[in-house]
Structure 1
Amino acid sequence: MRGRGARSAGAAAAAGLVLVLGGCSSGGHGVSPLLSPSASRASATARPTHGTAPSASASASAAPVKGTAKVTATVATKLAQPWGVAQLPDGTLLVASRDSGKISRVDARTGEVTPVGSVPGVSHTPGGEAGLLGLAVSPDFGSDHLVYAYFTTESDNRIARMLYDPTRAEGEQLGAPDTILRDIPMGLIHNGGRIAFGPDGMLYAGTGETGRRGLAQDVTSLAGKILRMTPDGQPPADNPLPGSLVYSTGHRNVQGLAWDPQGHLWASEFGQDTWDELNLIKPGGNYGWPVVEGIAHRAPYIDPVVQWHTDEASPSGIAYAGGSIWMAALKGERLWRIPLDGTKAAGPPQAFFTGKYGRLRTVVAVDDHTILLTTSNTDGRGRPHPGDDRILKLTVS
């Protein structure tokens, strides 16, 4: 577990990347099931197994313009600052508490919450956005029992993996963290934090520019990027530039990552004062921040597929289900459905639950008709309701 050295920002190769990233033109408009482990990773079929973008011709039928979303159960309540949620093969959930650095286990059938352990070194400043953020389960969890975490320390953001052993005493079920990547710039705000394994078995991470805008266009920095790495934290040979973890650049604060059945990577991104974004991610693509925000039709920057005014979104987690991307909105206090037609939106975004559950943080796809949704009202910026924060189970069209 400790034989691999953690990579740092200095390992991101810069030579030639400007040409790779600048070559993209403007205008481009495996979780386990909650209660059915036998269907594990079924959604990963028919997806590419390499780092190149799938063909635009590989598209499914367009999703209906109108859909439905109904809360069918409350899975858990009284969670403290839930951020990352990872689903284990048996359907149970691991949930990260941003401020405390603790990970809890949630029994999806009974709602029972039990402590798993803490990630050492997590740092959170009141009023800020740092702390224990994204969680991901190893694609080989059945054999390696590894859980990955993205978290902030006093000096940087890191990604570490830990052995999860549920046979040990409550609160002592996490092994010592094996840091696979360090020196991701950190700040009071814009730390990104979402991590997810793609259908290619690689680990992807969304990072923020920490409020230092120039880092998003600095190809030697890991901030303001989407990163792609092996499970050991190494740059895959088919990344846009060999030796670099940078997969795409020009991001302000990426907090949502999801793949559709055709293998397209989608990402949600916080804008500044005008436009929040849903982006279709291309290897080596430059998404414009801080030069442009939203749809600008300005080469070489890639336009978002959909944009929202910031008071309607401030997007965090996303998931794919039922032919659509489902996007949680924090400031917007709603769940957005974006119906897809291949690499485009099949119709205008559709909002659900506006103001009903407060701030919404993370979306997890259980199957093509079921998603989980977490509230985020105890994060210091919301108005907690009785029982907050909670995990909701939804049936979607």
Structure 2
Amino acid sequence: MKHTRILAGGLVVSMSLLGLASCSATTSESTTATNEERTKTELASASNQGCTLVKDGFGPQGKVNVRAEEVVTGLEVPWGIAFLPGGEMLVTERPGRVRLVRDGELQPSPVATVNVTDSGEGGLLGIAAHPNFADNRLFYLYYTTDKNGSPVNRVERWQLSPDGINASSDRIILDEIPVALFHNGGRLRFGPDGMLYIGTGDARAPESSQNVDSLAGKILRLTPDGQVPPDNPFPGNPVFISGIRNTQGFDWPNESVLWVTDHGPSGELGRSGRDRVSVARAGDNLGWPTTYGCGSNENFVTSSLSWRDAVPPGGAAIYTGNAIPEWKGSLMIGTLGSRHLHRVVFDPDSPQQVQLHEVYFRGQSPNGFGRLREVIMGPDGELYVTTSNCDGRGSCPPEQDKILRITR
């Protein structure tokens, strides 16, 4: 059974409601094996495939001396940050507010209030500023809302007023992205090619990740106006990378490669843990649900890093600043359940393999900051991170959630 989905500009994409059957596969684990047998099999497979599997814990303590500065407090589940010319920030709060940070101060009134459905992992999620924001003042939001009595995830373009204190909806860019209580994706990023990349979750329908006619479980690629670029891997289709369970973080080490973080299973098919980091290119399939963790199959990309215990990863950004030169070129990942900032260094001589990885700001105060969601480089060359301790899964402090600057 099929239905259609309308993208901006009237483009119609055929969508399958049922998804495609998963291919038969060789995975690194048997769902009926004991934990000990699974671990032995995983480690052997990971070694053969060049995937680093973290058997215990999350990684060694970081060795670079860094600190975190509080930039803003008083936020409620800040999910994404868009930096504007002049150093201002637009910040999304999951209950449906877009907030402005001006001169280092959180402004009291929202720039915009979006009608969202914020149960589970839904609500107002990702944000990205148009590459030509200085001229057109356009930005993009990913949010969960009700459409004709059914929840959907939507990407919408907005325009900020000249004085920066309010915004209005401009147009829907992409509608009816599948939604569920969990696995909603939500990250928006503009790539080095000027295209809009959209991370989605499998909406608790794992088979949809393997269906290129579904928007679920993918990284999608559109023009800033919502059209499908002519050089997308599937003609007329926004799908850029498939086989994803639930990504909230990705970045580009170069124009043709993406480093992608993904959530591992939390009970599906008897599986758990195995969050992962993968190296992907246009048209690649990361394998979910056929493979996961360090599992391998000739039809899919093998992950570069996976953890046996649940992390799971939030936002991710490649460190490009000068304040912490040791981190230059590293992928920095916020983690939620494991409550730390993770650094990943890829081997320059073997770009699919991890050279080292380490943990910073582990745990809660005074050493850590709890659940970390957004991770993004600022125009000042500093790394910014948001906490997510007021999302119902953390310990919400009196000052609520924060934006942190990670520096020397």
Q: Which TM-score tier does this pair reach, normalised by the shorter chain?
A: 0.7 to 0.9
Which letter does structure 2 place at the counterpart of 1:329? Answer: T
TM-score of the superposed pair, with normalisation by structure 1: 0.80
**Deviation string for 1:61-96 (max 9, x for gaps)?**
xxxx96525234210001011101111121111100
Of structures 1 and 2, the larger Rg is shown by 2
Give distance in 2, aligned partners of 1:134 and 1:265: 18
Contact 1:71-1:392 at 8 Å conserved across structures: no
Which residue of structure 2 lines up, in the alignment, with residue 103 of structure 1? 98
Give distance in 2, aligned partners of 1:368 and 1:91: 8
The match for 1:120 among 110, 114, 137 is 114
Give distance in 1, aligned partners of 2:182 and 2:276: 18
Gaps of 5+ in 1: 30-64
| Superposed counterparts of 1:300-339, under 5 Å | 300-311=299-310, 313-321=311-319, 322-339=328-345
Question: What SS does structure 2 have at the residue aligned with 1:349?
Answer: strand
**Deviation string for 1:116-175 (max 9, x for gaps)?**
4334332112xx00000000000011111101000111221110111101426x4xx111
Q: Is 2:171 the partner of 1:178?
A: yes
Which residue of structure 1 lines up, in the alignment, with residue 129 of structure 2? 137
Give distance in 1, aligned partners of 2:344 and 2:143: 29
Q: Higher strand fraction: Structure 1 or Structure 2?
A: 2
Q: Report the CA distance between 1:232 and its aligned residue.
A: 1.2
| Superposed counterparts of 1:51-130, under 5 Å | 68=64, 70-99=66-95, 101-107=96-102, 109-125=103-119, 128-130=120-122
C-alpha distance 76-193 of structure 1, shift in aligned 2 (>3 A): same
C-alpha distance 368-276 of structure 1, shift in aligned 2 (>3 A): farther
| Superposed counterparts of 1:1-397, under 5 Å | 6=8, 11=13, 68=64, 70-99=66-95, 101-107=96-102, 109-125=103-119, 128-154=120-146, 155-167=151-163, 170=165, 173-261=166-254, 263-272=256-265, 273-311=272-310, 313-321=311-319, 322-342=328-348, 343-355=351-363, 356-366=368-378, 370-395=382-407
Contact 1:338-1:350 at 8 Å conserved across structures: yes
Question: What SS does structure 2 have at the residue aligned with 1:227?
Answer: strand
TM-score of the superposed pair, with normalisation by structure 2: 0.78
Q: Report the CA distance between 1:340 and its aligned residue.
A: 2.4
Give distance in 1, aligned partners of 2:218 and 2:11: 12
Pick which of 295-304 and 360-369 moved more: 360-369
Contact 1:86-1:136 at 8 Å conserved across structures: yes
* Aligned Cα root-mean-square deviation (Å): 2.6
Give distance in 2, aligned partners of 1:98 and 1:9: 29
Question: What SS does structure 1 have at the residue aligned with 2:249?
Answer: strand
Question: What SS does structure 1 have at the residue aligned with 2:169?
Answer: coil
Question: What SS does structure 2 have at the residue aligned with 1:115?
Answer: coil
State the identity %.
Answer: 37
Contact 1:12-1:222 at 8 Å conserved across structures: no
Give distance in 2, aligned partners of 1:165 and 1:150: 20
Question: What is the count of residue pairs matched by the alignment?
Answer: 342
Which letter does structure 2 place at the counterpart of 1:96? Answer: T
Q: Report the CA distance between 1:242 and its aligned residue.
A: 1.1
Q: Report the CA distance between 1:388 and its aligned residue.
A: 2.4
Which letter does structure 2 place at the counterpart of 1:323? Answer: G
